Copies of this chain bind each other. A is one copy, B any other.
Amino acid sequence: MRLPDSVKDIIAAGAYGHVVTLNEDGSPQVSLAWVKVDRDDLLIATLSDQRKLQNLLRDPRVALSFETDELNEWGLRKYVVVHGRAVVELGGAPELLQDLAHTYLGPDVSFPAMPDPPPGFITRITVERVGGQGPWSSRA
Protein backbone atom coordinates (compact mmCIF):
# COMPACT_ATOMS: atom_id res chain seq x y z
CA MET A 1 0.00 0.00 0.00
CA ARG A 2 0.88 3.65 -0.26
CA LEU A 3 2.40 4.96 2.98
CA PRO A 4 0.65 8.23 4.00
CA ASP A 5 2.89 11.30 3.86
CA SER A 6 2.00 12.11 7.47
CA VAL A 7 3.46 8.75 8.52
CA LYS A 8 6.56 9.20 6.36
CA ASP A 9 7.14 12.59 7.96
CA ILE A 10 6.97 11.20 11.51
CA ILE A 11 9.48 8.46 10.77
CA ALA A 12 11.82 10.65 8.71
CA ALA A 13 11.89 13.17 11.58
CA GLY A 14 13.56 10.57 13.78
CA ALA A 15 10.85 8.62 15.60
CA TYR A 16 12.13 5.29 16.89
CA GLY A 17 10.49 2.11 15.67
CA HIS A 18 9.37 -0.44 18.25
CA VAL A 19 9.81 -3.46 15.99
CA VAL A 20 7.67 -6.48 16.83
CA THR A 21 8.44 -9.93 15.48
CA LEU A 22 7.19 -13.37 16.50
CA ASN A 23 9.28 -15.93 18.37
CA GLU A 24 9.13 -19.61 17.48
CA ASP A 25 6.54 -20.20 20.22
CA GLY A 26 4.40 -17.35 18.84
CA SER A 27 5.22 -14.93 21.65
CA PRO A 28 6.07 -11.34 20.72
CA GLN A 29 9.66 -10.07 20.51
CA VAL A 30 10.33 -6.31 20.57
CA SER A 31 13.42 -4.24 19.80
CA LEU A 32 13.96 -0.54 19.20
CA ALA A 33 15.37 0.48 15.80
CA TRP A 34 16.24 3.35 13.53
CA VAL A 35 13.94 3.24 10.52
CA LYS A 36 14.41 4.56 6.98
CA VAL A 37 11.53 5.48 4.68
CA ASP A 38 12.26 4.18 1.17
CA ARG A 39 9.34 5.24 -1.03
CA ASP A 40 6.50 3.17 0.45
CA ASP A 41 8.73 0.63 2.20
CA LEU A 42 10.49 0.81 5.56
CA LEU A 43 14.10 -0.29 6.00
CA ILE A 44 16.01 -1.40 9.09
CA ALA A 45 19.78 -2.07 9.24
CA THR A 46 21.40 -4.60 11.56
CA LEU A 47 25.10 -5.41 11.73
CA SER A 48 24.70 -8.85 13.26
CA ASP A 49 22.24 -11.70 12.89
CA GLN A 50 19.86 -10.71 15.64
CA ARG A 51 16.90 -12.58 17.06
CA LYS A 52 14.47 -10.44 15.11
CA LEU A 53 16.05 -11.50 11.82
CA GLN A 54 15.81 -15.17 12.73
CA ASN A 55 12.19 -14.59 13.65
CA LEU A 56 11.45 -12.85 10.36
CA LEU A 57 12.93 -15.70 8.33
CA ARG A 58 10.44 -18.04 10.00
CA ASP A 59 7.47 -15.64 9.99
CA PRO A 60 7.73 -12.42 7.96
CA ARG A 61 4.87 -10.69 9.75
CA VAL A 62 6.10 -7.56 11.50
CA ALA A 63 4.64 -4.52 13.24
CA LEU A 64 6.41 -1.22 13.93
CA SER A 65 5.07 1.26 16.45
CA PHE A 66 6.14 4.93 16.59
CA GLU A 67 5.32 7.58 19.20
CA THR A 68 4.69 11.17 18.15
CA ASP A 69 5.00 14.39 20.16
CA GLU A 70 1.37 15.33 19.50
CA LEU A 71 -1.65 14.77 21.72
CA ASN A 72 -5.16 14.12 20.45
CA GLU A 73 -8.32 15.84 21.73
CA TRP A 74 -8.43 13.47 24.75
CA GLY A 75 -4.87 14.29 25.75
CA LEU A 76 -3.64 10.91 24.53
CA ARG A 77 -0.45 10.73 22.53
CA LYS A 78 -0.84 10.09 18.82
CA TYR A 79 1.05 7.09 17.51
CA VAL A 80 1.52 5.10 14.35
CA VAL A 81 1.46 1.33 13.98
CA VAL A 82 2.65 -0.05 10.65
CA HIS A 83 1.86 -3.68 9.82
CA GLY A 84 3.73 -5.42 7.05
CA ARG A 85 5.91 -8.24 5.82
CA ALA A 86 9.69 -8.33 5.87
CA VAL A 87 12.41 -9.63 3.59
CA VAL A 88 15.96 -9.79 5.00
CA GLU A 89 18.73 -8.94 2.52
CA LEU A 90 22.45 -9.54 3.11
CA GLY A 91 24.71 -6.47 3.07
CA GLY A 92 24.35 -2.70 3.08
CA ALA A 93 23.93 -2.21 6.82
CA PRO A 94 26.91 0.12 7.51
CA GLU A 95 25.88 2.50 4.72
CA LEU A 96 22.26 2.63 5.85
CA LEU A 97 23.27 3.05 9.50
CA GLN A 98 25.52 5.97 8.54
CA ASP A 99 22.62 7.53 6.65
CA LEU A 100 20.26 7.03 9.60
CA ALA A 101 22.84 8.30 12.11
CA HIS A 102 22.52 11.73 10.49
CA THR A 103 18.83 11.71 11.42
CA TYR A 104 18.97 10.04 14.82
CA LEU A 105 22.32 11.24 16.23
CA GLY A 106 23.36 14.37 14.31
CA PRO A 107 24.63 15.62 10.96
CA ASP A 108 28.32 15.12 11.79
CA VAL A 109 28.18 11.73 13.48
CA SER A 110 30.18 8.83 12.06
CA PHE A 111 28.45 5.49 12.62
CA PRO A 112 29.15 2.67 13.18
CA ALA A 113 32.29 3.80 14.99
CA MET A 114 34.40 0.80 14.01
CA PRO A 115 37.17 0.42 11.41
CA ASP A 116 35.86 -2.47 9.34
CA PRO A 117 32.17 -3.12 9.98
CA PRO A 118 30.53 -6.34 8.77
CA PRO A 119 28.13 -6.10 5.79
CA GLY A 120 25.19 -6.91 8.05
CA PHE A 121 21.62 -7.12 6.86
CA ILE A 122 18.90 -4.82 5.59
CA THR A 123 15.32 -5.69 6.45
CA ARG A 124 12.82 -4.38 3.89
CA ILE A 125 9.26 -4.07 5.12
CA THR A 126 6.37 -3.94 2.69
CA VAL A 127 3.50 -2.11 4.37
CA GLU A 128 0.08 -3.78 4.41
CA ARG A 129 -1.84 -1.73 6.95
CA VAL A 130 -1.41 1.43 9.05
CA GLY A 131 -3.10 1.83 12.45
CA GLY A 132 -2.59 3.60 15.74
CA GLN A 133 -4.24 6.87 16.74
CA GLY A 134 -4.05 9.78 14.34
CA PRO A 135 -5.28 10.95 10.94
CA TRP A 136 -3.43 8.01 9.33
CA SER A 137 -5.61 5.50 11.17
CA SER A 138 -9.09 4.37 10.24
CA ARG A 139 -9.81 4.34 14.00
CA ALA A 140 -8.80 7.98 14.50
Q: Which of A60-110 contact B (CB under 8 A)?
A: 61-63, 65, 67, 74-77, 79, 81, 83, 101, 104-105, 109
CA A19 to CA B64, docked complex, whole Å: 12
Q: How far is the CB of A32 from chain B (nearest CB, A)?
A: 4
Residues of A within 8 A of B (CB): 16, 18, 20-22, 26-32, 59, 61-63, 65, 67, 74-77, 79, 81, 83, 101, 104-105, 109, 111-113, 131-133
15 extra A-B contacts, CB within 8 A, seeds A20-B20, A28-B28? A18-B67, A22-B26, A22-B28, A26-B26, A26-B59, A27-B61, A28-B62, A29-B63, A30-B131, A31-B132, A32-B65, A32-B76, A32-B132, A75-B105, A75-B109
